[in-house]
Structure 1
Amino acid sequence: MELHPQPVGGQPKPWKFPAPDRGTLPNGLTVLRCHRPGQQVVAVEVNLIAPLDAEPEGLDGVATIMARALSEGTDKHSAEEFAAELERCGATLDAHADHPGVRVSLEVPASRLAKALGLLADALRAPAFPDSEVDRLVRNRLDEIPHELANPARRASMALSKELFPAESRMSRPRQGTEKTVERIDAGAVRAFYEAHVRPATATVVIVGDFTGVDLDTALADTLGAWTGAAAEPRPMPPITADDTGRVVIVDRPGAVQTQLLIGRIGADRHDRVWPAQVLGTYCLGGTLTSRLDRVLREEKGYTYGVRAFGQVLRSAPSSAPGGAVGAAMLAISGSVATDVTGPALADLWQVLRTLAAEGLTDEERDVAVQNLVGVAPLRYETAAAVAGTLADQVEQFLPDDFQAQLYARLAETGTVEATAAAVNAFPVDRLVTVLVGDAEQIAGPVGELGIGQVTVVTGQ
């Protein structure tokens, strides 16, 4: 029997996060394109500067309804026809709203890119916003709200935002609105928000994939290039302020068998030079199954299936903004534990933080974190969608096009001492707001004895 020779691995090739080509269409639309040979599913991300703090007073959630309504019909197609045209292209179109703005995402086979770009352009250029479809989306959103309030993790996130930010700040309120504000939204409000904020001159499109055999310049000119709109002055960005005085808020859920933990504060965003060290230190603290928090709370004590520490950028601003950058990131620790061990679990969590401050990280922890963060990057960015999403994040956060590539280089250069200092500064034991969603009658006493802050109990509704 003749066997095929065993394949032999080749020499590893240096990897670097892809660099996009940047340009501008005559209508003012900024375009970032990135040719990725072999990526036959092209990913397109559109950043629209329509932030949540631009929503009219009393209409929280209108940005979300507008984003969802972009694909509910245009001047050329009804909602059903538009959906059918997307399906014929083998394309998916999604949109969502967040604090920085609205993001529209398209994925389509490269062979049908031109057709799908035309549909995307129609959705941005001339959405119909029919009354019946907007009303349906409002009803759907109202149906979602009770489910979100019943979800412990979502409820904890809402409570933490309410605690951290002043009541007048949009960041203190649910991103997608409350029942009271959503029920006020109608097609007229959606159209007004669209007309006030959506235009090509302030938008950016990121397109990533294999463009072999595709006349991308012509496709863009004939579709997104036909989108017109007036220019607009840059919107002022309100400063981000937060109160991270150490305290505990218990969202009461009588009879709950688990307690959802969310512990957080506001810290540096990606414009800060400490960001790479903060990423590395946070990863060592709670970024994976081998992190300190998991090792103690999961492996040694068996309190939880997992605890994670993370940093999530809320909003960034260009350095040219008045007073300098006004961005911030949410630094948080999240997980869930059995109700009867809530007190001991929090005690051990705080001890992990105190030990980190007293003894620091080890070189081994630092090396494993770098290997995991930097070494797996080529796998993380195997798809066009992953690359496009990161490039769009950079645009949204006013970062240079080579930021991600430089970040990996800086992570590899960050030392153990620097990572330790960043993690300790990110999670100071006396400046953390702790939200617990659980049975207040069972957990309030043990938590109060820990001395990690004044305990307040609120209704679970």
Structure 2
Amino acid sequence: MDFHPQPQPGDARPWAFPEPARQTLGNGLTVLRCDRPGQQVVAVEVLLDSPLDVEPAGLDGVATIMARAFSEGTDKHTAEEFAAELERCGATLDAHADHPCVRISLEVPASRLPKALGLLADALRAPAFADSEIERLVRNRLDEIPHETANPGRRAAKELYKQLFPADVRMSRPRQGSEETVAAIDSAAVRALYEKNVRPATATAVIVGDFTGVDVDAVLADTLGAWTGGPATPRLVPPVTADDSGRVVIVDRPGAVQTQVLIGRLGADRHDRVWPAQVLGTYCLGGTLTSRLDRVLREEKGYTYGVRAFAQVLRSTANGTGAALLGISGSVDTASTGPALEDLWKVLRTLAGEGLTDAERDVAVQNLVGVAPLKYETAGAVAGTLADQVEQELPDDYQGLLYQRLAATGTVEATAAVVNAFPVERLVTVLVGDATQIEEPVKALGIGAVTVVSG
């Protein structure tokens, strides 16, 4: 029997995260362009300087409604016509609002880039913000809120942010608003936010893909370059502060068969030199199935299907006013809540006493650095990371240098970073579960004062 020859591996080739070309259009729009031969689906990310902090008092969620409304018609097309034009291009358009900015994402075949960019430019230049469409988006958002409240993970996150940040700080409240604030939003509020904050001089566009046969300069000039607006004005960004004194908050869900666990505090962001070591150490703690937390809580004890440790940038600025949320999340069965938390604290204390092993460090580096070329096979992945760098005021070569720093980080350095990131006495623990069953076992652990709130 003849078999097909077994494929042989090729020679390893050097890889580095691509660095974009940067330019500024005549209207003040900053453009980061990255030509990726073979990527026939072009990815575009537009970042608008409209952070959640600029939402008017009592209108939390208006930035989210504005972001969603960009695809609901322009001065040239109704909402239905705009959707049909996007579909004819084979394009997808999404948008969301977060603490740093509003981001709009477009993906389209390279051959139809001019048409799709023209539609995106129209949406930015002259969004319709029709009363009927805004009312529909508000109703949709109000319908989403009860579902989010019923989700233990979302409910835990909402409570953690409420606990960490002062009540008068926007980060303490839901990103997409509450029922009360969303219900107060109308088209006038959306348009006022747009007119005050959205302009090309404070925006950035990231475009990644195969530009063979495409005059990108001409396309940009004819589309996004035709968008006009006022000059850029400096915006003061206050520092992020939080109360991470050790305590436990139980969100009562009577009859719950599981307890959702979310532990967090504020830590260093990507501008801090400790970030690479913090990423590496956090990955060793809870970044994968072979991490310490999973090895104990999942494999040895069987409390959970998985526990993860993470560092999520909340806001990152070059002047040092940013911060990241350092967290541990997972779920356990109700009866195991106390024992699981006890063992989790033991993992953290053991880590502080004994440190990471070289083997753990080596696996983390391989998983974070070795697979990076696979992670960035698509134009969308590259564009998303470049947009993150813009959003966080990082240099264009940051991601490539980060991989070098991760590979050069030693075991001792990673240990120190993760121990400092998760000090056992300064962790805010939120538990969503049946308080009648878990309150006393948790109090007995002595990991902080325990408070019960309504679910």
Could you state the TM-score of these two structures normalised by the residue count of structure 2?
A: 0.99
Match of 2:11 in 1: 11
Could you list the per-position Cα deviations for residues 113-136 of structure 1 after superposition, in whole angstroms to 9, with x for gaps in the alignment? 010000000011100000000000
Per the alignment, in what secondary structure is the counterpart of residue 391 of structure 1?
A: helix
**1:234 deviation in Å?**
1.6
Give me the whole-angstrom Cα distance separating, in 2, the residues matched to 1:134 and 1:456: 39
Per the alignment, in what secondary structure is the counterpart of residue 37 of structure 1?
A: coil
Give me the whole-angstrom Cα distance separating, in 1, the residues matched to 2:4 and 2:122: 53
Match of 2:355 in 1: 360
Give me the whole-angstrom Cα distance separating, in 1, the residues matched to 2:209 and 2:163: 42
Give me the whole-angstrom Cα distance separating, in 2, the residues matched to 1:432 and 1:4: 57
Residue 280 of structure 2 corresponds to residue 305 of structure 1: no
Give me the whole-angstrom Cα distance separating, in 1, the residues matched to 2:448 and 2:371: 39
Could you list the per-position Cα deviations for residues 163-209 of structure 1 after superposition, in whole angstroms to 9, with x for gaps in the alignment? 00000000000000000100000000000000011000000000000
**1:7 deviation in Å?**
3.4
Could you list the per-position Cα deviations for residues 207-255 of structure 1 after superposition, in whole angstroms to 9, with x for gaps in the alignment? 0000011111111000000000001312111221100000000000000
Residue 384 of structure 2 corresponds to residue 389 of structure 1: yes
Residue 407 of structure 2 corresponds to residue 404 of structure 1: no
Residue 65 of structure 2 corresponds to residue 70 of structure 1: no
Could you list the per-position Cα deviations for residues 70-89 of structure 1 after superposition, in whole angstroms to 9, with x for gaps in the alignment? 01000000000000000000
Give me the whole-angstrom Cα distance separating, in 1, the residues matched to 2:283 and 2:318: 27
Per the alignment, in what secondary structure is the counterpart of residue 290 of structure 1?
A: coil
Match of 1:111 in 2: 111
Give me the whole-angstrom Cα distance separating, in 2, the residues matched to 1:352 and 1:316: 30
Match of 1:47 in 2: 47
Match of 2:246 in 1: 246
Residue 323 of structure 2 corresponds to residue 328 of structure 1: yes
Per the alignment, in what secondary structure is the counterpart of residue 457 of structure 1?
A: strand
Give me the whole-angstrom Cα distance separating, in 2, the residues matched to 1:200 and 1:358: 52
Per the alignment, in what secondary structure is the counterpart of residue 190 of structure 1?
A: helix
Could you list the per-position Cα deviations for residues 13-41 of structure 1 after superposition, in whole angstroms to 9, with x for gaps in the alignment? 01100110000100000000001111000
* Structure 1: stretches of 5+ with no match in the other structure: 320-324
**1:393 deviation in Å?**
0.2
Equivalent of 1:339 in 334, 346, 371: 334
- Runs of 4+ residues over 6 Å off in structure 1: none
Aligned AA (2:326): L
More deviation in 231-240 or 37-46? 231-240
Percent same amino acid at aligned positions? 80
Residue 429 of structure 2 corresponds to residue 431 of structure 1: no
5 and 449 in structure 1: CA distance in 2 versus 1, 3 angstrom threshold: closer
Match of 2:145 in 1: 145
Give me the whole-angstrom Cα distance separating, in 2, the residues matched to 1:280 and 1:135: 46
Match of 1:25 in 2: 25
**1:69 deviation in Å?**
0.3
Could you list the per-position Cα deviations for residues 297-353 of structure 1 after superposition, in whole angstroms to 9, with x for gaps in the alignment? 00000000000000000001223xxxxx10000000000000000000000000000
Give me the whole-angstrom Cα distance separating, in 2, the residues matched to 1:60 and 1:387: 31
Match of 1:259 in 2: 259
Could you list the per-position Cα deviations for residues 243-272 of structure 1 after superposition, in whole angstroms to 9, with x for gaps in the alignment? 000000000000000000000000000000
Give me the whole-angstrom Cα distance separating, in 1, the residues matched to 2:162 and 2:267: 17
> What is the CA RMSD across the aligned residues, in angstroms?
0.8
Aligned AA (1:454): A
Give me the whole-angstrom Cα distance separating, in 1, the residues matched to 2:286 and 2:7: 38
Following superposition of structure 1 onto structure 2, how do residues 135-174 of structure 1 map, counting pairs within 5 Å?
135-174=135-174
Following superposition of structure 1 onto structure 2, how do residues 368-387 of structure 1 map, counting pairs within 5 Å?
368-387=363-382
Give me the whole-angstrom Cα distance separating, in 2, the residues matched to 1:269 and 1:353: 21
**1:100 deviation in Å?**
0.1
Give me the whole-angstrom Cα distance separating, in 1, the residues matched to 2:239 and 2:170: 11
Match of 1:322 in 2: none
Could you state the TM-score of these two structures normalised by the residue count of structure 1?
A: 0.98
Residue 232 of structure 2 corresponds to residue 237 of structure 1: no
Give me the whole-angstrom Cα distance separating, in 2, the residues matched to 1:140 and 1:2: 61
* Structure 2: stretches of 5+ with no match in the other structure: none
Could you list the per-position Cα deviations for residues 27-60 of structure 1 after superposition, in whole angstroms to 9, with x for gaps in the alignment? 0000000011110000000010100010000000
Could you list the per-position Cα deviations for residues 83-121 of structure 1 after superposition, in whole angstroms to 9, with x for gaps in the alignment? 000000000000000000100000000010010000000
4 and 454 in structure 1: CA distance in 2 versus 1, 3 angstrom threshold: closer
Aligned AA (1:105): S
